[in-house]
Structure 1
């Protein structure tokens, strides 16, 4: 009999059997696919539970019978003035069902933090108000706008469960599927970047040793702190910090890097990327170089004071000469380092292709021949031809850097090319001293620089490029 026939169980079934039968039937009568069948099944389920608990529910409402032919209305005596007419009691209207979609979505995000998609799905299906298809559709659209505006942290498995629950995972359900995919990735990254999951993220990034895990968690902590120039410059004094921060950001943000979601500070991300890639003549690069020079000079001053005080303890007088000596050593070291960095920047600038527009473009194009011609003038027109080599060697190095850029060079040859800038001068000096013809050697080096520059210029001429295309 009803409701057991609807559930397919015996009237003697207990509460556990009723719930199990309801769960089985619910898969065949989903509210979004068969709302009428679901309504009958739910009424039978509630009635069976009440019978099992000792209550006798009313049978389901059947279809109303055909209305009989109306009889003649009997004459009803009007109530007298002493006996007022009694009006039937008015039934109060049922209160409208209210559903706070914002609070529901916030709680869904909080439950998704545990990264248990099955538990989240069970919690979503437990809201009877969402059995209404119209309300469920409206809440699903609210969920999409909530995702686009806030992008709260959520693992991708729980995000997929939310889309499947609101029927937003099939083609045509969302107007911009690419944007939804980007939000999904951003929310998953924000969930991993939570401070409580730094160790787990370090393990996902491949940190096996304790030191590597500590380095990654420290870098993540730096990225999530508010950006301050003094703190960032202090941390960038060590070159390994630049490398580790740059590698971590590129592994998280991809290549080219996208902006990482909170709790990462976007200014922190921009600073470390510019520090690793912008070069010496950018704002961030110049600030880091200035901080390192100041730190080196300060270290030299402190060491000088320490050695001077120690010498004063031995001889009875403070040795100011030690302070000056160590400051000179620190200044010389900074000068050499700045010269090497400037030369590296100049070499990189010469390797980059640049259009022949403006003074900078023409200087980029004509720097090598200007140096070579100046070297020829010094070598041939002065009494000190060796002084011209100060222009010949840089011209030849820059010309080779231009013509060999982008070419396949064997790995065994690259270290020797980098070392050539330091070897070419002493080797050439020995050769020139041996043959006593420094003018011929200087002219030969300048000519080699002009030849390499001509080959590179011929390759880069637009007309030549069009002919080859």
Structure 2
């Protein structure tokens, strides 16, 4: 009987199944119905049937699996329901439902037999997974797919997917640093390609004339051009990651020692001193207007003001949308270095005063 009911649940829709169960004479007995329900549940659990949520709910309502007096544990009922739903979502009948869930998770489209889903269905070597992870957005797509399948509730491999594939891609959902690592690898590869292109250009233009002012000879100029093209992207990416880490440290971290506490408090004035030093060195070592030093100083001043303002708003728990206009006004002050330094130091002093209060 249990096998028969499970087979009908996999073949009919919810309305037809409900009508068929009500007309089944074996379920008219109040003594036999709970026993049959437990047998049906055990059959579904062992066979991992592809059941839509409406079909499982129909069986649960018929046999009272979600009742308080049910002989089944509710944790087991939820686990089996999720397994059946995962199997249904990964079947042709559940493609549209899986796509809708994926859109809700990632705001992106999921193809029924796209590369992400196809790669998780079959075993693949680890080196191939690592190369695939270098494709921008591929790791986020895999994490979104696992979220749509509700993988994070039980950490069990969804039916029909390869366990090693799921374990590899699931790490991107629990270890945010992996995204940073692979982003750095992509930037380095792009820098290497750009360096090779510059090397081809240098070789095609050989020999190179010395630089103006006699700073570099022809070969030295070639080395500087190739290194600059290769390292520009990775260094810029590393600077952005470091700055985001610094801002996070200033906003989220709390000092646990006096030395680190003073360093945590003095970051803003130290950055102001660095920008002043850059201007002073530029004026001293450069003949004429030190445009390079002024550009670097403007960048450091803008970042310093941004950090000081973010700390101030974070301390006051001010919503970002309410302070957006004031933040833009303050960032406009970076066009003039002295007002930017003054605004940054003012925000820092107010923040320090609140710490002492």
TM-score by length of 1: 0.51
Q: Going by fraction, where is helix more abundant, 1 or 2?
A: 2
Which has the larger displacement, 302-311 or 184-193?
Answer: 302-311
Larger radius of gyration: 1
In structure 1, what is the equivalent of residue 256 of structure 2? 357
Structure with the larger RCO, 1 or 2 (CA within 8 Å, 6+ apart): 2
Q: Distance in 1 between matches of 2:113 and 2:102?
A: 9
Does 1:162 pair with 2:47? Answer: no
In structure 1, what is the equivalent of residue 310 of structure 2? 401
Does 1:294 pair with 2:188? Answer: yes
Q: Distance in 2 between matches of 1:334 and 1:157?
A: 51
In structure 2, what is the equivalent of residue 221 of structure 1? 118
Does 1:338 pair with 2:235? Answer: no
Name the CA shift for 1:377/1:138 in 2 (closer, same or farther; >3 Å): closer
1:325-361 Cα deviation digits (max 9, x unpaired): 4553131111011101221122123222x454368xx
Match 2:349 to one of 428, 447, 451: 451
1:145-191 Cα deviation digits (max 9, x unpaired): 55667754321232234335545454412453365245424422331
Q: Distance in 2 between matches of 1:235 and 1:310?
A: 34
Name the CA shift for 1:446/1:407 in 2 (closer, same or farther; >3 Å): closer
1:362-415 Cα deviation digits (max 9, x unpaired): 73x433433345468779999948899798765544332222134123379279
Deviation at 1:451, TM superposition (A): 1.4
**Pairwise mapping of residues 147-296 of structure 1 onto structure 2 (< 5 A)?**
152-166=49-63, 168=65, 170-177=67-74, 179-181=76-78, 183-194=80-91, 197-199=94-96, 201-202=98-99, 212-214=109-111, 217-224=114-121, 226=123, 229-253=126-150, 259=155, 261-264=158-161, 265=163, 266-274=166-174, 278=176, 282=177, 284-296=178-190
Deviation at 1:234, TM superposition (A): 3.2
Q: For structure 2, list consecutive stretches of 5 or more residues without a partner in the other structure.
A: 207-218, 283-292
Q: Distance in 2 between matches of 1:341 and 1:419?
A: 24
Deviation at 1:119, TM superposition (A): 4.9
Residues 45, 80 of structure 2: 8 Å contact kept: yes
Does 1:370 pair with 2:273? Answer: no
**Corresponding pairs, count:** 323
Q: Distance in 2 between matches of 1:308 and 1:110?
A: 71
Name the CA shift for 1:271/1:117 in 2 (closer, same or farther; >3 Å): same
Secondary structure, counterpart of 1:214 in structure 2: coil
Secondary structure, counterpart of 1:410 in structure 2: coil
Name the CA shift for 1:291/1:181 in 2 (closer, same or farther; >3 Å): same
Deviation at 1:428, TM superposition (A): 0.6
Residues 9, 55 of structure 2: 8 Å contact kept: yes
Q: Distance in 2 between matches of 1:449 and 1:259?
A: 46
Q: For structure 1, list consecutive stretches of 5 or more residues without a partner in the other structure.
A: 1-98, 313-318, 432-440, 459-463, 465-469
